[in-house]
Chain A
Amino acid sequence: MSIKIIIADDHVIMRQGLIQMLQADGHFTVIGECGDGVSLINLVLTESPDVVLMDISMPEMSGLVAIDKILAQRPMTRILVLSMHNEREYMEAMRDAGAKGYLQKETSADALVQAIKQVAAGKQIFPGLESLTAETSPATISPLSVLTRREREVFFLVAAGNTSKRIAELLTMSLKTAENHRSNIYKKLNVSSSAELIRLAGKAGLLE
């Protein structure tokens, strides 16, 4: 049973890369491709895909509007947004619009293939918006992608076993700020202790 896919992206090269990748895997049939929002709506309505793989910034009609229109006419459509934007506001907006997943274009081929299969099976994929559990997010997506730059520095220092006080010294910030960063990181990664954080870092291959 092959998964039927429509791809929408205004960059032809991006589209071709995706098509090659999906064909190489063997579980997918690309039943349509296009480069703007209006054609996408038409394609979805005539071809009934299992999954739509789409970019946000496209000519004619923005991705957000296209999602609205598609879901208004075919509410069961499973949409996976593939975007160059890593800001969480993008992810939230797409989730609120009714997409089933959001990944960055930098995502590795393996993770992307896995994500499409999960979306086709009815799962939601929004790395960083929900806790990073093994079930909802492919293990290949780095926990670092949800952290800010400063948080990442703190993340590595926590993973290396430093206390908040030591981290504050190393990064020349107040103890309160260091502790704030630490608790934000814990929240984002859904861990409750440095031991859990180190375990997570190890699993993601971030410790040598």
Chain B
Amino acid sequence: MGNDNQDIITDILKQQAFLKKRLDEEQLQLTSMAKRLWAQQEADKANLSRELHDGIGQLLTALTRRLSTLGNRDPEFVELAEIANMALEDVRHLSRMMSPTILDDLGLKPALKWLCRSLFEDTDMQCDCLVQLHNDIADDLSTLVFRISQEVLTNALKHSGAAHISLNLQSSYNSLLLEIRDDGNGFDYEQVAKGVGLTSIADRAKAFDAKLNIISRPGKGTQTRVTIPL
């Protein structure tokens, strides 16, 4: 009798272990599919960004040059050249934000510095960027950190009304810690209608086993903390 019970329990445990394994496998598959989709998305964005930059960008460069040359004769053209140049910079900015070549060219630290500077330089907000990395960061993790930072900082820019924003990235031997704070309006994370931004931050963090912590209260600013295992 005791033996029978024993057998049943063993059976159930076996089944449980089996189910758990299946679940884990499926989770893993989903995660790897999400990662593949993002990689594809990044590649698509890179193509579009290049077309924007090389296509419209080149035309505007040519236009700016012609107008500047004309400006030597007629000062009115100096102003037109300046407008054409602004259009050129808009296209460049759009193209860079879509696909940050600086990340491939120079690495994570300069890319984050650039992000903080270029998002806030024409605003009243001040953004400080402190990056201390002691080890090389794999490409997919660099992209992860960059894209999460981009969403969080864009939110701070659009919604927070903050005076100060800070981005802090530190690495230790086994993890990366990203912390972004603003001293703005804050919001209620549970209540707020989540858009693409907050959703994609949570999804991406999960896919990389990262711990995401968003602390925000109306009137008290927002703090986003992401701990990524290395």
Whether A63 lies near B105 (C-beta < 8 A) is yes
User: In the complex, what's the smallest C-beta–C-beta distance from B149 to chain A, in angstroms?
Assistant: 15
**Is B110 an interface position by the 8 A CB rule?**
yes
10 A–B contacts from the bound complex (CB under 8 Å): A57-B101, A64-B106, A86-B92, A89-B102, A89-B106, A89-B113, A89-B117, A92-B110, A152-B82, A174-B124
Main secondary structure of the interface of B (DSSP, over half): helix
Whether B114 lies near A87 (C-beta < 8 A) is yes
Whether B118 lies near A87 (C-beta < 8 A) is yes
Total residues of chain A contacting the partner, CB 8 A: 25
State in angstroms the CA–CA spacing of A63 and B107 once bound together: 12
Q: Which of A88-113 contact B (CB under 8 A)?
A: 88-90, 92-93, 106
Whether B86 lies near A90 (C-beta < 8 A) is no
**CB-CB under 8 A for A149 and B122, given A63-B105, A90-B105, A208-B78:** yes
**Is A4 an interface position by the 8 A CB rule?**
no
**Is A73 an interface position by the 8 A CB rule?**
no
Total residues of chain B contacting the partner, CB 8 A: 25
**Is A170 an interface position by the 8 A CB rule?**
no
Q: Which of A156-177 contact B (CB under 8 A)?
A: 156, 174, 176-177
Whether A150 lies near B102 (C-beta < 8 A) is no
What is the 8 Å Cβ interface bit string for chain B, positions 37-57, against chain A (1 contact, 0 not)? Answer: 000000000000000000000
A residues adjacent to B (C-beta < 8 A):
56-57, 62-64, 85-90, 92-93, 106, 148-150, 152, 156, 174, 176-177, 205-206, 208
User: In the complex, what's the smallest C-beta–C-beta distance from A129 to chain B, in angstroms?
Assistant: 14
User: In the complex, what's the smallest C-beta–C-beta distance from A109 to chain B, in angstroms?
Assistant: 12
Closest to A57 in B: B105
Q: Which of B65, B89, B110 contacts A89, CB < 8 Å?
A: B110
Closest to A180 in B: B124
**CB-CB under 8 A for A64 and B102, given A93-B110, A149-B122, A208-B75:** no
B residues adjacent to A (C-beta < 8 A):
61, 65, 72, 75, 78, 82, 86, 89, 92, 96, 101-102, 104-107, 110-111, 113-114, 117-118, 121-122, 124
Residues in A with CB closer than 8 Å to B101 are 57, 85
Residues in B with CB closer than 8 Å to A63 are 105
Whether B106 lies near A93 (C-beta < 8 A) is yes
Closest to B79 in A: A156
State in angstroms the CA–CA spacing of A152 and B64 once bound together: 15
User: In the complex, what's the smallest C-beta–C-beta distance from A15 to chain B, in angstroms?
Assistant: 17
User: In the complex, what's the smallest C-beta–C-beta distance from A170 to chain B, in angstroms?
Assistant: 14
User: In the complex, what's the smallest C-beta–C-beta distance from A25 to chain B, in angstroms?
Assistant: 21
Q: Which of A85, A88, A106, A206 contacts B61, CB < 8 Å?
A: A106
Residues in A with CB closer than 8 Å to B111 are 89
State in angstroms the CA–CA spacing of A45 and B105 once bound together: 23
User: In the complex, what's the smallest C-beta–C-beta distance from B91 to chain A, in angstroms?
Assistant: 12
Residues in B with CB closer than 8 Å to A106 are 61, 65
Residues in A with CB closer than 8 Å to B110 are 89-90, 92-93
State in angstroms the CA–CA spacing of A177 and B114 once bound together: 21
Closest to B61 in A: A106
Whether B78 lies near A177 (C-beta < 8 A) is no
For A64, A149, A205, A206, which residue has the most chain B Cβ atoms within 10 angstroms?
A149
**CB-CB under 8 A for A64 and B105, given A89-B114, A208-B75:** yes
User: In the complex, what's the smallest C-beta–C-beta distance from B68 to chain A, in angstroms?
Assistant: 9
User: In the complex, what's the smallest C-beta–C-beta distance from B116 to chain A, in angstroms?
Assistant: 10
Whether B82 lies near A90 (C-beta < 8 A) is no
State in angstroms the CA–CA spacing of A149 and B93 once bound together: 11
Whether A177 lies near B105 (C-beta < 8 A) is no
Residues in B with CB closer than 8 Å to A85 are 101-102, 105
Closest to A142 in B: B68
State in angstroms the CA–CA spacing of A110 and B104 once bound together: 31
User: In the complex, what's the smallest C-beta–C-beta distance from B162 to chain A, in angstroms?
Assistant: 15
